[in-house]
C-alpha cells in the first residue's frame, strides 16, 4: 500500500460497543473521505476481493484472517484486533439472512449490535424485549446493517425507534432460547 492511500483515510471512525462489522463497514464507507473508487482500489490493493461485501452480509465462511483484518485496520486507522471484536466469536452460530433489532437499544444508540445475530440470543437482556426481525407495519425483513443509514424500514419508511411498541416482552425462556423468535 502506498503512503498516498493512507492519507485518504486519516480520519479514524470509532466503533461503538458491540457494533457489528456490517454496521461499521456501512458507516465507514459513507464517510465523505471514502469514495467508491477508493474502496475499489483498496480492495484490489489489499487483495480482499469481495470479502468486505461478504462481511456486510455476515457471510463469514471463510472466517476473516487476522492478516486481512490487520491490512484493513491499517487503512482504517484501527487495530486488527478491534476489527475482530466486531465479528462474532469464532464458532458462535449466527443468523445470516435474518437481521434482528432491539428498538429500545437502537433508540439509546443507533447501531446494530453483533450479539443480536447470535442464534443463542432470542431477546434483549437489557430491555427484556424480544427482538424484531421484520417491519411490524409492512412485514418486510430488515435490511443488512450496512444499509441502516436512515434507521427506517426501506419500504414503508417506519422509523426503527418507533417500532418499539411492537416488541413483545421477553419471558425467561426467550432469554435462554436458541431459535429465532417469531
Ligand atoms: Zn435492548
Ligand atoms: Zn415497513
Inside any domain, residue 123: yes
Which domain, by its residues, includes 32? 10-84
Question: How far, in whole angstroms, is CA 152 from its chain's centroid?
Answer: 15
Ligand 1 ion: Cβ-proximal residues, 5 Å cutoff: 102, 104-105, 124, 126-127
- Give me the mean pLDDT over the 34-39 stretch: 71
**What is the domain count for the chain?**
2
Do both 21 and 62 map to the same domain?
yes
Residue 2 confidence (pLDDT) above 50: no
Ligand closest to Cα of 124 equals 1
- Cα-to-centroid distance, 115 and ligand 2 (Å): 23
Indicate the SS3 state at residue 137: coil
Higher pLDDT, 10 or 28: 28
CA-nearest of 41, 143, 179 to 151 is 143
pLDDT band at 9 (very low <50, low <70, confident <90, very high): low
pLDDT band at 173 (very low <50, low <70, confident <90, very high): low
Residue 51 confidence (pLDDT) above 60: yes
- Cα-to-centroid distance, 119 and ligand 1 (Å): 16
C-alpha cell at 80: 486488527
**Residue 73: CB partners within 8 Å, gap ≥ 6?**
79, 80, 82, 83
CA-CA distance, 166 to 110, in Å (whole number)? Answer: 18
Do both 77 and 126 map to the same domain?
no
Amino acid at each position: 500500500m502506498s503512503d498516498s492511500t493512507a492519507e485518504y483515510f486519516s480520519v479514524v471512525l470509532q466503533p461503538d460497543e458491540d457494533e457489528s462489522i456490517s454496521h461499521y463497514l456501512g458507516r465507514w464507507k459513507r464517510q465523505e473521505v471514502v469514495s467508491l473508487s477508493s474502496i475499489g482500489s483498496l480492495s484490489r490493493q489489499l487483495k480482499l476481493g469481495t470479502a468486505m461485501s461478504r462481511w456486510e452480509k455476515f457471510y463469514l465462511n471463510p472466517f476473516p484472517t487476522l492478516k486481512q483484518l490487520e491490512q484493513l485496520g491499517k487503512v482504517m486507522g484501527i487495530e486488527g484486533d478491534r476489527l475482530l471484536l466486531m465479528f462474532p466469536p469464532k464458532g458462535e452460530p449466527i443468523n445470516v439472512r435474518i437481521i434482528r433489532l432491539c428498538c429500545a437499544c437502537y433508540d439509546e444508540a443507533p447501531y446494530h449490535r453483533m450479539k443480536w445475530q447470535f442464534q443463542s440470543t432470542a431477546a434483549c437482556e437489557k430491555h427484556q424485549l424480544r427482538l424484531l426481525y421484520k417491519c411490524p407495519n409492512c412485514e418486510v425483513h430488515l435490511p443488512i446493517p450496512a444499509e441502516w443509514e436512515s434507521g427506517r424500514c426501506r419500504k414503508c419508511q417506519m422509523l426503527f425507534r418507533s417500532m418499539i411498541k411492537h416488541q413483545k416482552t421477553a419471558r425467561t425462556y426467550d432469554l435462554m432460547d436458541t431459535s429465532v423468535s417469531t
